[in-house]
């Protein structure tokens, strides 16, 4: 209103001096009217895409794939792969689907600026099909805005953004069609608790964000239903945060340790991350961090979830302290946190089997095994099975006897350690396992849970 009044006053003054003002009026009015029209078209959807577009990258690379699902007998062929990634840390850390970068020797990433650079695979979790890649950058990258998936509404508008069929930064719109979908895409890959959407998800969209109309990422697009229209799926962002917090943890990246296990705030504590537990003999325990504390800030980082904790501590030297601000009662307290060298923490084989495979094992005599099946020299009896672990997913039960893993027999706990180390070093995919149940030998394919718990 003020600008319009100023123009009218100026035009009146010119008119009093006998100056023709019609052309001038047309000139000054046009940009103003265009601005009004432009703002009327800048809907919530437009603003959502504008605010997050620069945090989305395009991924390209070549890989060798089998002609069909029977890898042992199929010939390999070279294919051009494509996908999408989301910047979750301005220092160049990007989350995508593991299947986008699996087997790709040279991962090429095109940033929103148009610059193409090479990324390295930092860490991955085949079980959830998530991976972190890293690009080297001089200037901080725009970072995605993260929402929540615990309050999603069936029918609410969502947006998919990604490298569909190689068309970079393609935007599609739809609604949430359903929640908690289970989808099996192959004999070795199954997804649970997915968001179903009718926003078009095409080859190349994998790893890209599913956004709400506020421009917050609520999921990572992961799959589409072949032969169907309007059936796509995304991993809920709360699950993504849980996995990525582990993949980007200082334990994995820097081999350091803090000992804080936290969850995002709730309605009663909307600020900060709530400490669920503190690991024994950890740096956090040493400075008095307790379950129930609410972590508000670490250094310059505002904290709202476990991922923020990990990001704030990445690259911190073990001799360097960083201020930790916690809310206790009605006040706030600031304490200095030092990280410890992870090399001082020794994990037992028992704990490792529980974390990575989801079982507790104990040796069983060779006589007991050979009475059931004479061809086996021994094995390890399953004493317990973790409900949410890889072993449980494959139907392994308490009382089963593990007699083989991949191409090696499992007579002693050290055999299991060897296989786990080998699979990590050589990036071996799902491990074939053999268990005795009664007199019957059963087998399946076990995807290690590479996440520390």
- Region 200-213: mean pLDDT is 94
pLDDT reported for residue 408: 87
Is 50 exceeded by the pLDDT of residue 30? no
Which is higher by pLDDT, 37 or 291?
291
Does pTM top 0.75 for this prediction? no
Lowest-confidence range among 21-35, 100-114, 335-349, 382-396? 21-35
Kindly indicate the confidence band of residue 35, based on its pLDDT and cuts at 50, 70 and 90: low
Residue identified by tokens 């990001």 is 311
Token representation of residue 373: 């099946």
Q: Which helix (H) or strand (E) holds 322?
A: strand 321-328
Residues annotated as catalytic are 99, 129, 206
Whole-angstrom Cα distance, residue 327 to residue 345?
Answer: 29
118-135 per-position pLDDT tens digit = 999 998 888 889 999 999
pLDDT reported for residue 10: 44
Token representation of residue 219: 């999921």
Relative to beta strand 167-184, strand 157-164 is antiparallel
* CATH numbers and ranges of domains, the chain: 2-41 (no CATH), 43-248 (2.40.10.120), 253-343 (2.30.42.10), 349-446 (2.30.42.10)
Cβ proximity of 340 and 283 under 8 Å? yes
Residue 100: how many other CB atoms lie within 10 Å: 26
CB proximity list for 48: less than 8 A, separation 6 or greater: 159, 211, 212, 213, 214, 215
Strand-pair partners of 108: 60, 118
Whole-angstrom Cα distance, residue 163 to residue 142?
Answer: 18
């Amino acid at each position: 209103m003020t600008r319009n009044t100023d123009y009218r006053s100026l035009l009146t003054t010119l008119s009093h001096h006998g100056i023709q003002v019609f052309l001038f009026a047309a000139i000054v009015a046009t940009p103003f009217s265009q601005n009004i029209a432009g703002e009327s078209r800048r809907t919530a959807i437009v603003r959502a895409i504008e605010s997050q577009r620069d945090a989305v990258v395009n991924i390209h690379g070549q890989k060798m794939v089998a002609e069909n699902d029977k890898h042992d007998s199929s010939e390999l062929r070279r294919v051009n792969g494509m996908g999408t990634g989301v910047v979750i840390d301005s220092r160049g850390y990007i989350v995508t689907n593991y299947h986008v970068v699996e087997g790709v020797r040279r991962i090429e990433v095109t940033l929103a600026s148009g610059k193409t650079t090479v990324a390295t695979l930092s860490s991955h979790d085949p079980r959830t099909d998530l991976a972190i890649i890293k690009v080297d950058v001089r200037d901080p990258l725009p970072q995605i805005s993260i929402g929540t998936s615990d309050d999603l509404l069936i029918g609410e508008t969502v947006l998919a953004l990604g490298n569909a069929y190689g068309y970079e930064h393609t935007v599609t719109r739809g609604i949430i069609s359903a929640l908690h979908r289970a989808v099996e895409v192959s004999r070795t890959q199954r997804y649970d608790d997915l968001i179903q959407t009718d926003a078009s998800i095409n080859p190349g969209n994998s790893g890209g964000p599913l956004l709400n109309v506020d421009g917050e990422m609520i999921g990572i697009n992961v799959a589409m239903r072949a032969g169907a229209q309007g059936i796509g799926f995304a991993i809920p962002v709360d699950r993504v945060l849980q996995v990525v917090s582990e993949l980007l943890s200082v334990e994995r990246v820097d081999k350091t340790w803090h000992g804080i296990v936290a969850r995002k705030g709730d309605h009663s504590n909307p600020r900060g991350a709530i400490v669920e537990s503190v690991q024994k003999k950890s740096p956090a325990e040493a400075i008095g961090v307790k379950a129930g504390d609410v972590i508000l800030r670490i250094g310059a980082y505002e904290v709202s979830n476990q991922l923020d904790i990990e990001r704030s501590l990445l690259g911190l030297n073990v001799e360097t302290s960083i201020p930790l601000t916690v809310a206790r009662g009605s006040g706030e307290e600031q304490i200095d946190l030092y990280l410890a060298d992870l090399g001082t923490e020794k994990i037992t084989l028992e704990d490792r089997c529980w974390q990575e495979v989801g079982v507790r094992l104990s040796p069983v005599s060779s006589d007991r095994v050979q009475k059931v099946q004479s061809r086996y020299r021994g094995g390890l009896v399953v004493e317990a099975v973790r409900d949410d672990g890889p072993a449980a997913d494959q139907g392994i039960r308490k009382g089963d006897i593990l007699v083989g893993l991949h191409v090696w027999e499992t007579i002693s706990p050290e055999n299991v350690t060897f296989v786990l180390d080998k699979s990590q070093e050589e990036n071996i995919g799902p491990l074939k396992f053999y268990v005795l149940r009664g007199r019957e030998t059963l087998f399946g394919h076990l995807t290690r849970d590479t996440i520390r718990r």
